Chain A
Amino acid sequence: MRATYRVVALVLAAGLGLLGLGPVPQNASAQQFKKVINFGVNRGAENLDPVTMDANPDLWAFMQIYQQLVRVNVKGDGFVPDLAERWTTSADGKTWTFFLRRDSRFSTGDPVTSSDVVWSLRRAHDLKDGPWQWALEDVQDISAKDDHTVVITLKEPWAPFLADISLFSNSILSEKVFKNAAQEQISNKPVGSGPWMLTDWKKGEELVMKANPYYFEKGLPKTPELHIKYIPDDNARIIAVQSGNVDGIDYPPFSRVAELKRDPRLDMQLNPSTAVAHLSLNTREAPFDNVKFRQALATAIDRYAIVRAVCFGYCTAATTFLPMTTPFFNKSSKGYVYDTAKAQQLLKESGVKTPVTVKVLFWANNPVHQSTAVVVKAMWSKIGVNLDLEPLDRAAATQRYRSNQFQIYITGWTNDIPDPSQLGAYELGFTQSQSYHSGYHSKEMDDLLEQGQREMNTDKRRDIYYRIQDLALKDSPLIWLYYAPYTIAISKKMTGFVQMATGPWIFKDVAVAQ
């Protein structure tokens, strides 16, 4: 008996000794501010080449490193100078001249000249089948007039041109470094003129950036080092910011917002965004080819219930297809009002026999998509529509979606430019994506979209886009659900953090107190 206890005691002692348990010693430093900003994110970056990437984590990372000719302002409704300090347009609207600053330099020390701009934009324009080619579609020629002047000529006057040129894919890279570089180098080793430069990249783990010593705004960035850490698990990420392991995180889930708002250590932010969540309906197959059926489905959705269930009250019910922050959003449009009786009436008028079973496809392991599907299922059961849930892993779901083998697909959009033309063309126009793969093809809509891009008069443009919004609601190839703000939780010790309405964070003014 005694031997047993002795054994146990010995083993436990050895075990505890091995661990060296104890509280973490606090760093009593004399400095006022931290030298490193630690930021936790839920998705890791994979490709830092502005022209070939297509994922928020990638672009939000390289936006710290690269600059564009002009930049979208924080609110998302206008433009500010970036590499170009001013610009002029010709009378016919077809020639744009950009005058570059003289003091911007890449992290290598080389000055940014118009030859870098021409090379970068030509590359973005010439890449075949890239995801962002549409932004430079109307460009006829890009040339350098002198070392600090760039002239861009368009085929036609193009209303959203400034928005397009501000797109992140039109970042300015160093021609000297990348002229003959392999794709891998551009993707893995960015060299830009922005406030930060990449010094280390542990793939799938952490991006380490240091201040660009040649950045043109003197004294910035305020903190010399920035670490972007990949922490995919929501709970772990929240605990990391609550315990001080990181100074801020992105995407705390909506279910935690109330609790984080009550946390005295944190500043729980809900930043305006350009994000819209919606359902894509495959209008090629019955019963979704029937417009009254689609309208019935849209009317049978209680968007306020979805906002409560999926966003815990922190989103806004969607009305039109545009995000609220985008110019020409129709504030007085009511969208679809929840009305079960009206939905049943529409269903009867459509001629579709109930009960009818339809399927919804969505990304597995995505709690937001799943919640949405579960709630919609309950709502539609009230009008005799039985919704079967079909979660698939991302690659399989993408395959089905791209080959149009779905009935309903849960997805969403984040507007990248402060202009409705990108979203309109992609979502409601047939050419680019078959109207978000819904197969919707309306000549009236296509004409309106075309007009919207060419009309230079703001008021007339507004009218056109109001008509587009109404038509989209009437034809309902997609069902728009809600607008979601960006959720960010930062430590109260962090000051100067800004998130743009289009999504990217700005860290150059950030200082974190000890």
Chain B
Amino acid sequence: MSTLAQRAVASLPVKPRLASGLVIGGSMLLALAAAALLAPALSSGDPNAQNFEAILQAPSLAHPFGTDNFGRDVFTRVLYGAQIDLRIGVLAIIFPFLFGSLAGAVAGYYGGWVDAVVMRTVDVITAVPFLVLIIAIVSFLGSGEMNIFLAIGAVGWVTYSRLVRGEVLREKNLEYVAAVRSLGFPRRRIILRHLLPNAVAPAIIFLASDVILVILTTATLGFLGLGIRPPAPEWGMMISEGREFLSSGWWVAAMPGFACMYAGLAFILLGDGIADILRVRGQ
């Protein structure tokens, strides 16, 4: 490293706060996952139990989150919904993140026709309105979780590839890359060990918001009637169904909305924490 860079690194203050995002976000997430797993024990046990004597009751000791228009306990539904939404949110972004980052790094590094092929594919996919694709797949195969994964997988990797490619284009001309190349390292190693960890920071930051975007996309699909099959207690569907009752029972849509916010906050803090670590290590 040049003396200028050495001085830059040396001037960095020590960061104990690095851990805080990771710790807070991680523990929030663990708490949520635990609550989801322990849902049968923590709640009334049946998210579909209807009770027409107790329609749209405000939050109380008996029903901490109130009841909905069928008399179902909202707290129970939110906990069982956590199982569904955490599962969808986490699983649906794995493929897009991994595949997209790799594709973007490869495209950015190699350039030329490789770049052209990847980026033109990205163009075609982003040119197809996301909803058209989703509706097509879901109408064709039927509604449900699996098909949401397929649709999001087919389309979601695009953002990651563009973010990573942008960073790689910038990074590959930096000194340290030239330094490493002059040492004779193979390209694959350069990409995987050196470029990717640095270039992937914006992708990881986006990942955190992407989990929430996935959950909300599922909600939008529910809004259009193409989501998880009712009467499943998926948060997005609950918010969508609760739209009718904003004035007579605001808790029906609000509670799953708060659950979304909680989960979102947790993922974002976690993402920030990870990004902070990566950023320092990459220097």
Q: Which residues of A contact B (CB under 8 A)?
A: 234-235, 253, 255-256, 258-259, 305, 308-309, 363-367, 370-371, 373-375, 377-378, 388-393, 396
Contact = CB atoms under 8 A, between A and B. Distances in A.
Given A374-B70, A374-B230, A390-B229, A256 B52 contact: no
Contact of B226 (A258, A390, A393): A393
Contact of A396 (B70, B139, B223, B229): B139
A71 to B, nearest CB: 35
A366 B231 contact: no
Given A374-B230, A391-B225, A393-B226, A255 B70 contact: no
A255 B244 contact: yes
Nearest to B244: A255
A365 B230 CA distance: 11
Contacts of B142: 390
B135 A393 contact: yes
A256 B139 contact: no
Given A309-B70, A374-B70, A364 B55 contact: no
Contacts of B135: 393
Given A308-B55, A374-B231, A378-B50, A393 B225 contact: yes
Contacts of A363: 225
A430 B61 CA distance: 56
Given A305-B52, A391-B143, A364 B225 contact: yes
Interface string B113-138: 00000000000000000000001000
B226 A234 contact: no
Contacts of A373: 230
Contacts of B246: 235
Given A255-B244, A371-B69, A393-B135, 15 more contacts: A235-B243, A259-B247, A308-B55, A309-B69, A363-B225, A364-B225, A365-B224, A370-B241, A374-B230, A377-B231, A388-B229, A389-B231, A393-B225, A393-B226, A396-B139
B147 interface: no
A388 B143 CA distance: 13
B225 to A, nearest CB: 3
A391 B142 CA distance: 9
A365 B225 contact: yes
B248 interface: yes
A367 B143 CA distance: 17
Given A377-B231, A391-B143, A393-B139, A255 B225 contact: no
9 contacts: A255-B69, A255-B245, A256-B248, A309-B52, A309-B70, A389-B229, A391-B143, A391-B229, A393-B225
Given A235-B246, A389-B230, A364 B69 contact: no
A377 B230 CA distance: 11
B217 interface: no
Given A256-B248, A389-B230, A375 B224 contact: no
B224 A364 contact: yes
A363 B243 CA distance: 18
Contacts of B244: 234, 253, 255-256, 367
Given A367-B244, A391-B230, A375 B225 contact: no
B241 A367 contact: yes
Contacts of A370: 230, 241
A356 to B, nearest CB: 19
Given A255-B244, A377-B231, A364 B52 contact: no
Contacts of A258: 248
Interface string B45-64: 00010101001000000000
A373 B50 CA distance: 13
A140 to B, nearest CB: 46
A274 to B, nearest CB: 25
Interface in B215-262: 223-226, 229-231, 241, 243-248
A480 B135 CA distance: 32
Contacts of B241: 367, 370
A22 B142 CA distance: 48
Top-4 shortest CB links A-B: A364-B225, A365-B225, A255-B244, A378-B50
A373 B248 CA distance: 22
Contacts of A253: 244
Contacts of B245: 255
A309 B231 CA distance: 14
Contacts of B143: 364, 391-392
A364 B138 CA distance: 12
A305 B55 CA distance: 11
A214 to B, nearest CB: 44
